[in-house]
Amino acid sequence: MPGKHVHFAPSDYISTPTPSYSYASLPSSAGSSTPSSLGYFGSPYGTTPLPAVPCQINPALLHSGQPLLAYNVSYPVVNVQRHPSQPYDVLMQPATHPPVSHLTLSSPYLLCSVEVTPQTRTGFITVNDVLECIYQTLRQSVTENEFSKLSPDSQRGVSKAYQRRYERIPDPSLREIERQKGLKRVDFLEKRNVFMGLSGTKAGPDVMELHL
């Protein structure tokens, strides 16, 4: 029976982050809160209030068959790899031009949208903010009712994704902690874990499609 071996977090359970683990030794450029050298992409300063005009997506986030940021969304953002063509501080650049303070990301593979807001005091959304909000949204627990609405085939795929996710943790105690946290929204992606970028939609300048 699909879902037989999956686990759901109790309704009053508060999920705490599992200590970070990475699949490679990767550089992180998200640690500094110093505004980056933005080059041609423009300055974020003097943008209050942020104008409601069409947004240009930062090239690092733009949908492409060859993304400039290599990121598996099932892992913490510290694991992001940048293409050699991208500056070291690319994650601190504004996600759009002009900079904005709110974005909604939608995907046909997710039950909910990803609401992106600034995660620091910059007042605008950075490239890192986009990736961090995606990761945090995908870490949200799935209810048994949501799971039951899937087809049997989808339930099997999601169950396997859940099992793969906690079994990849090498430490047995951390692995069991992650298993007990139950299904997460990231499991609904099954094997679609690679960030392929963002593209605009007709729903408005602040609504974008998340490609996985």
Query: Would you say residue 27 lies in a domain?
Result: no
Contact 128, 92 (CB under 8 A): yes
Tell which residue, 62, 61, 53, has the closest CA to residue 205. Answer: 53
Tell me the HSE value of 187 on the side-chain side, using a 13 A CA sphere.
30
- Per-residue pLDDT tens digits for 35-88: 443 443 444 444 455 555 678 999 999 998 889 999 999 999 999 999 999 999
Tell which residue, 13, 11, 1, 3, has the closest CA to residue 161. Answer: 3
Cβ neighbours of residue 84 closer than 8 Å, sequence gap 6 or more = none
Query: Would you say residue 38 lies in a domain?
Result: no
- Assess whether pLDDT exceeds 60 at residue 157: yes
- Per-residue pLDDT tens digits for 169-210: 999 999 999 999 999 999 999 999 999 999 999 988 899 999
- Assess whether pLDDT exceeds 90 at residue 25: no
- Assess whether pLDDT exceeds 70 at residue 12: no
pTM of the full structure: 0.76
Report the alpha-carbon distance of residue 182 to residue 5 in Å, rounded.
Answer: 10
Q: What is the pLDDT of residue 150?
A: 92
Report the alpha-carbon distance of residue 209 to residue 171 in Å, rounded.
Answer: 36
Distances (CA, A) of 50 to 11, 12, 45, 124, 132: 38, 38, 10, 9, 22
β-strands 96-97, 103-106: how paired? unpaired
Report the alpha-carbon distance of residue 109 to residue 210 in Å, rounded.
Answer: 10
Q: What is the pLDDT of residue 63?
A: 96
Q: Which helix (H) or strand (E) holds 210?
A: strand 207-211
* Sign of the alpha-carbon dihedral angle for 35, 39, 41, 46: positive
Contact 77, 93 (CB under 8 A): no
Query: Would you say residue 192 lies in a domain?
Result: yes
The mean pLDDT of 136-149, rounded to a whole number, is 93
- Assess whether pLDDT exceeds 80 at residue 104: yes
Using 50, 70 and 90 to split pLDDT, how confident is the model at 30?
A: very low
Query: Would you say residue 11 lies in a domain?
Result: no
Q: Determine the structural domain holding residue 111 and report its residue range.
A: 53-211
Q: What is the pLDDT of residue 46?
A: 47
More confident residue, 39 or 110: 110
More confident residue, 145 or 43: 145
Report the alpha-carbon distance of residue 203 to residue 11 in Å, rounded.
Answer: 33
Q: What is the pLDDT of residue 65?
A: 84
Q: How many domains does the chain have?
A: 1
Q: What is the pLDDT of residue 128?
A: 98
Q: What is the pLDDT of residue 27?
A: 35
The mean pLDDT of 163-170, rounded to a whole number, is 96
Query: Would you say residue 182 lies in a domain?
Result: yes
Query: Would you say residue 108 lies in a domain?
Result: yes
Query: Would you say residue 175 lies in a domain?
Result: yes
